[in-house]
Amino acid sequence: MASLRQSILRLQNTLLWVCEDERIYAAVRIGFALVAFANLVLLWPDRLVFLSNRGLVDQGVTIAHHPWIYLSVFQWIENPAGITSVLIFSGFCMLLLALGILPRAAALVVFLWHLSFVARAPLVVTGWDQVLQAFSFLVLISPMGRAWSLVSSWRPAVVAMVPRYGLTLMRLQVAVIYLQTVLLKLGSPYWRNGEFMTYYLLSHNSRRPGNWVLPYEGQLGLVTFVALLAECAIPFLLFAGRTRFWGFLLGFLLHGGISLVSRNLEMFFATMLMTYLAFLRDGDVEKIGQWFRSKPAPE
Amino acid sequence: MDPAPDSLAAPACRSTWVTRLLGSLCLWHALTLVICILPGQWRSSGVVGEVLGQYQNATGTQQEWTMFHTIPVIHRMDVRLEVTDPVGTPQPMGAVLPGFQPYPQPEEARYYSLFDRMTYLPQGQKYADALLARAANELGPAMDPGHAPLTLVIDAWYTRSLMGIHKLGETAVERTKEFRSSGKPTLSP
């Protein structure tokens, strides 16, 4: 019993309390804040359509059918001016978070924004909104540090080592996203017989839906299997130290490819690449810095 | 592995009770993530489903990664509102409120998700009722929300099976779903 307890403590220590370079958290914080800001900017023209009491999504119906406690600031703010103010304040806090100014308070506002938006307008929520929402909670509870903030640019400090618990949860979150979706896809006959990609390119999700895809059914079958295999492999490649680069590359190619053939999925591409920042390790930041420094200066 | 030296621990974690609390939260969160790899019916029922649902709702960490787990079936979509004039002719107008803006073309992900979900969610009719009442209200006092001859028309072209496309030479078949202010939606051929 004592050895079991010791094993659990040891595992807990390895997963949560071993320290990592605080600049990895800073990279995630900045990447997350900028992607969330871009998402907010894209939502801006439609804010009254999706969030106001004059738009398309009725809050009364949403509350009546919300399966859990309805947590959204929009239950108190329904008028256009109030909604515009919430968006401006949330966007401002995203920029504060990116700059590392009052990061914990800014992260709290950004978390509340995602919670409120997703609860208020479930009909318009996309996959990348859900990824950003999940990450907003993980960024909120993670060590913030002072690296790569506005303050550190004025008063440079020694880079600190901070506990890795936030990074562990972010990495696990990314793995769950991929593994759950792979398991669901394995249940679909269209993924198993390779027809998925042909149907996808015929749908309105495609950048150019049309019959031009039909002569390529065989090749698209191969693309379907490769995409499924890639989704399965990415988390494993990212977790293992030696194969992380191949995980990054495969993820970039997969999501970049999806983004190229799809309409409106650029934000998903950016969001998933942002999540990969959590897989950086000690030394990566130095290597990236060295790589930049080694590039010849423009004449 | 030896515990992390105290000098390496973050200041916030030096206090034992904070460390324990944070450690417990992290282990709990990790557990809620791992559980979500299991099939939906296992984790969404009973006490597990209730506890997991409340926690994930409060933390915004719902784990429903159903992105294209099956084929997308809609080839094209168009949405409009129709108001019947005194002669009985339906007059089309934009369905995007406020302002009766047209349904965006080329299509946008949030808009087609919204109207597509309206067609299959159980509460879709209620959303449509609210939308129609709001549209009638915006049109003016002459439009009685209860009796307004307003209809929300969702035209969707559904992709045929690949075999059907090859055989008939037709990519998609049109299905129109109409929502009216009262009564159930009708699915016309």
* Nearest Cα residue in chain B from A207: B106
Q: For chain A, what's the residue count?
A: 299
Best mutation target, A9, A50, A176, to test chain B (most B CBs within 10 A): A176
Per-residue pLDDT at B183: 52
Secondary structure (3-state) at A12: helix
The DSSP secondary structure of A254-274, one letter per residue, reads: HHHHHHHHBSS-HHHHHHHHH
A237-240: long-range contacts (C-beta < 8 A, 24 or more apart)?
A: A238/A171, A238/A174, A238/A175, A238/A276, A238/A279, A239/A171, A239/A175, A239/A279
Q: Which residues of A touch B13 (CB under 8 A)?
A: 17, 163
d(CA A19, CA B7): 10
Contacts of B98 in chain A (CB under 8 A): 48-49, 52, 54-55
How far is A5 from A9, CA to CA, in rounded Å? 6
Residues of chain A in contact with residue B62, where contact means CB-CB under 8 angstroms, are 130, 133-134
First and final CA of chain A: distance in angstroms?
A: 68
At A13 the pLDDT is: 87
Residue linked to tokens 């015929």: A202
Amino acid at B110: R
Please, how many CA atoms are within 13 Å of residue B68, restricted to the half-sphere of its CB? 24
**What is residue B2's predicted lDDT score, i.e. its pLDDT?**
37
Q: Give A80-98 pLDDT, tens digit per residue.
A: 999 999 999 999 999 999 9
Query: What is the C-alpha to C-alpha distance for residues B156 and B48, in angstroms, rounded to an integer?
Result: 38
Residues of chain A neighbouring B19 (CB-CB closer than 8 A): 17
Query: In chain A, which ranges are E strands?
Result: 19-21, 161-163
Are A199 and B162 within 8 A, CB to CB?
yes
Query: Measured between CA atoms, how close is A148 to chain B, in angstroms?
Result: 17
- 3-class DSSP assignment, residue A147: coil
Cα B96 to Cα A52, A94, A265, B13, B85, distances in angstroms = 12, 29, 22, 51, 20
Residues of B with Cβ-Cβ distance to A162 under 8 angstroms: 10
Q: What is the pLDDT of residue B7?
A: 39
Give the model's pLDDT for residue A153: 81
- Shortest CA distance from A47: residue in chain B: B98
> Dmax over Cα atoms in chain A, in whole Å?
68
Neighbours of A249 (CB within 10 A): 12
Tell me what the pLDDT averaged over chain A comes to: 93
Question: How much is the pTM?
Answer: 0.92
Nearest Cα of chain A lies from the Cα of B65 at a distance, in angstroms, of 6
- H or E element in which residue B90 lies: strand B90-93
From first to last of its 299 residues, what are the pLDDT tens digits of chain A?
A: 678 888 888 888 889 999 999 999 999 999 999 999 999 999 999 999 999 999 999 999 999 999 999 999 999 999 999 999 999 999 999 999 999 999 999 999 999 999 999 999 999 999 999 999 999 999 999 999 788 998 888 877 788 899 999 999 999 999 999 999 999 999 999 999 999 999 999 999 999 998 999 999 999 999 999 999 999 999 999 999 899 999 999 999 999 999 999 998 999 999 999 999 999 998 888 887 777 667 665 55
Question: CA B189 to CA B175: how far, in whole Å?
Answer: 6
The Cα B23–Cα B133 span in angstroms is: 51
Determine the pLDDT at residue B11: 46
Whole-angstrom distance, CA of residue A162 vs CA of residue A142: 10
Q: Would you state the pLDDT for residue B187?
A: 41
Q: Does B35 touch chain A (CB under 8 A)?
A: no
Residue A252 is encoded by which pair of tokens? 């970039």
Per-residue pLDDT of chain B (189 residues; tens, 9 = 90+): 333 443 344 444 456 888 889 999 999 999 999 999 888 778 888 888 999 999 999 999 999 998 888 899 999 999 999 988 777 788 899 999 999 999 999 999 999 999 999 999 999 999 999 999 999 888 876 565 445 578 999 999 999 999 999 999 899 999 999 998 755 444 433
